[in-house]
Amino acid sequence: MITVDVSINEDGKVTDVIMDGHANHGEYGHDIVCAGASAVLFGSVNAILGLTSEKPDIDYDDDGGHFHIRSVDTNNEQAQLILQAMLVSLQTIEDEYNENIRLNYK
């Protein structure tokens, strides 16, 4: 299962996101849940890097299974909007494939 741990501050702003695990919905390389979640995450991070002034701290495993984004300025409205959009997309995947992906808010 993919777990997505989302840390939210008292103002409702995203402070960091950790995605861990594998969906195990299909064969490696053909897993639509993994592909969808990865595309949403990487597309969102690329949007933050390309469309805002943010340079977040990113940690990941080269072989997949772990991605951590942190140090996004909670006052940067554009970056926060991208993160919120990312969460909506991941929640949509979770709604359909709740045995393969789980979002946890902290």
Residue of 25, 34, 66, 68 with catalytic role? 34
CA distance 91 to 54: 24
Instruction: Collect all residues with Cβ–Cβ distance below 8 Å to 94 and sequence separation of at least 6.
Output: 101, 102, 103
Is 34 in the active site?
yes
- Is residue 69 a contact partner of residue 58, using CB atoms and an 8 Å limit? yes
Active site residues: 22, 34
